[in-house]
Structure 1
Amino acid sequence: MEIRLAKKAGFCFGVKRAVDLAFESKQIEGTYTFGPIIHNDRVIAELKEQGVNPIDTLEGQDLKRLIIRSHGVAPTVYELAKKQDIDIVDATCPYVKKIHKLVQEHSQKGYAILIIGDCDHPEIQGISGWATAGCFIVKDKMACEMQNLPKKERTYLVVAQTTYKKEVVQEVVDYLKEQGYHFKFINTICNATKERQDEAAQMAQEVDAMLIIGSNFSSNTHKLYEVCQIYCKKSYCIAEASELDKSLLEGCERIGITAGASTPHSVIEEVIAKLKQLND
């Protein structure tokens, strides 16, 4: 069996930065993360062992330090933390921070904001909070059509979730052009996301099966799976080595592996070790 590992698999810059900041803050009692620091159960469990637990509200909590998750939060969280004299460690991904600034500045200039992404994803919930007026969220072209966005006297700033599929974003942008909307599009998909998806697409065409390692809650992991499925029907999403099923890989000589941006390298190594063990 030949095992191929994608060069871009595992922690991206923003996730690594957030995890490092979280572990550096562990020695201070009363430290919490606002929501899971990243979408990975192992990392969250390790932080809990160090006394750093996730919370989803600042109300009724005895906090001394709050770590903002990599996905970012709305400005109301910062305001409430400041009011309660809570020390803030901002682990928001710098690329997400850039979107916050764009949305805030353009809102103040009178732009309506259109965000392409998953409305239930914490990154999108955070971004939308920086819009001071008129914010719309669409997940794809069909949702955009159904939204029936107002045209009159409206100019939109269009941004995207950093981990979204570039093809879906382009379809929405093309639709807006066709329908005659006035808008300014700034491509906010992270370069690392694009490179990861492109690499996965290429690898999926060259192997018999693809393993995509990552959390069930990870948006970018799901997007990788969708990309791989186009080119390799034997594409499987797993969170860890224990989920590997030998029967699914029967007759497969070349196995490709990629991983979401929140997947620790240790988990990737365990999957590779398990693959080799199954092949013995």
Structure 2
Amino acid sequence: MKITLAKNAGYCFGVSQAIETVERCADESREPIHTLGPLIHNNQVIEKLNQKQVYVANEVEEVSDGTIAIRSHGVGADKIREIEKKGLNYIDATCPYVKKIHQKVKKYYEEGYEIFIIGDHKHPEVIGINGWCNYEGIVFQSKNSVPFREKYDKICVVAQTTMNREKFEEIAREISTRYPNAIILDTICN
């Protein structure tokens, strides 16, 4: 029997950074911190955070006091405006790689590009990315789902950071075939 050990184990950089940021803020604060969705899908970490007054809220409207922490998946621009409108403090623990996707989507959307997002439409990261183009991005995850319309003059393509690279490249080739002028940004995390 051959046993292969992984080079890396544990949380990705973005999740590790989010946990460290929220723990540090919890140690420095007397007020509760509410994460928008679970910071990580790991019950032991969530229980440890609960002991530091870090709780999970699914929506901004559930929080009336304390601070909101945006998890590594990020959120749409509308959620940040909602937090600010409520007068709540927030910690932005969005993964820096995801934040770069937000900035690119916002930039290209404001320049009139149609935004294609390759990923799972139910995944919090994809929902957050789509929130930077007013939830008007077209989300799909297979080459058979690539939209075909002649009206798209300008297209910008991004991907969920955890997308399978081979699948992304297959879909990107299909997009390039249909839309030779599309800007395809490889936003998959290494």
Q: TM > 0.5 between the two?
A: yes
- Equivalent residue number for residue 9 of structure 1: 9
The gaps in structure 1 that reach 5 residues or longer are 192-280
- Equivalent residue number for residue 50 of structure 1: 52
1:179 aligns with 2:178: yes
Summarize deviations over 1:179-230 as a string: whole Å, max 9, x none: 2453100100012xxxxxxxxxxxxxxxxxxxxxxxxxxxxxxxxxxxxxxx
- Equivalent residue number for residue 42 of structure 2: 40
- Equivalent residue number for residue 124 of structure 1: 126
Higher relative contact order (CA 8 A, sep 6+): 1
Between the aligned partners of 1:111 and 1:119, the Cα distance in structure 2 is: 19
Paired letter, 2:169 = Q
Deviation at 1:68, TM superposition (A): 0.4
Deviation at 1:46, TM superposition (A): 1.4
Summarize deviations over 1:240-273 as a string: whole Å, max 9, x none: xxxxxxxxxxxxxxxxxxxxxxxxxxxxxxxxxx
CA contact 2:148–2:178 (8 Å) conserved in 1: no
Between the aligned partners of 2:38 and 2:88, the Cα distance in structure 1 is: 18
Deviation at 1:4, TM superposition (A): 3.6
Between the aligned partners of 2:141 and 2:94, the Cα distance in structure 1 is: 22
Between the aligned partners of 1:61 and 1:11, the Cα distance in structure 2 is: 27
Between the aligned partners of 2:128 and 2:136, the Cα distance in structure 1 is: 15
1:159 aligns with 2:158: yes
1:135 aligns with 2:134: no
Runs of 4+ off more than 6 Å: none
Between the aligned partners of 1:141 and 1:153, the Cα distance in structure 2 is: 17
Question: What SS does structure 1 have at the residue aligned with 2:9?
Answer: coil
Deviation at 1:171, TM superposition (A): 0.9
- Equivalent residue number for residue 23 of structure 2: 23
- Equivalent residue number for residue 62 of structure 1: 64
The gaps in structure 2 that reach 5 residues or longer are none
Question: What SS does structure 2 have at the residue aligned with 1:182?
Answer: coil
Paired letter, 2:122 = D
Aligned-residue Cα RMSD (Å) equals 1.7
Per the normalisation by structure 1, the TM-score is: 0.63
Between the aligned partners of 1:168 and 1:51, the Cα distance in structure 2 is: 40
Evaluate the alpha carbon distance shift between residue 189 and residue 42 of structure 1 in structure 2; reply closer, same or farther with a 3 A threshold: same
Matches within 5 A, 1:1-280: 3-27=3-27, 28=29, 29-132=31-134, 134-144=136-146, 148-191=147-190
- How many correspondences in the alignment? 188
Per the normalisation by structure 2, the TM-score is: 0.91
